[in-house]
């Protein structure tokens, strides 16, 4: 059995949470999904000219992608 290494990359941004209505830090665990550090709500980022965060619920699908090598990095 072979073991596959997965890299989990996060991003921290500031924004206004639509649930608690506070300006706070949002931790991104995907290119479009974030968690509010104040209330813990999961958010989905929508880009339509303006970046807005909407509440992600049980029907929101999150895709996991294999790690893409960064320039100069070996597989």
pLDDT at 6 over 80: no
For residue 63, name the pLDDT band (cuts at 50, 70, 90): low
> Considering only CA atoms, which of 30, 52, 26 is closest in space to residue 41?
26
Task: Give φ, ψ of 49 to 5 degrees.
Answer: 90, -35
Give tens-digit pLDDT for 17-43. 888 999 999 998 877 888 899 999 888
Rounded average pLDDT over 49-72:
64
For residue 46, name the pLDDT band (cuts at 50, 70, 90): confident
Q: Where are the domains of the chain?
A: 11-55
Mean pLDDT computed over every residue of the chain: 76
């Amino acid at each position: 059995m072979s073991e596959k290494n997965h890299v989990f990359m996060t991003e921290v941004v500031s924004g206004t949470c639509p649930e608690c209505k506070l300006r706070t830090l949002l931790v991104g665990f995907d290119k479009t999904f974030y968690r509010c550090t104040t209330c813990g709500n999961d958010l989905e980022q929508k880009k339509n000219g303006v970046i807005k965060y909407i509440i992600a619920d049980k029907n929101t699908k999150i895709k996991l992608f294999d790690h893409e090598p960064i320039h100069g990095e070996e597989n």
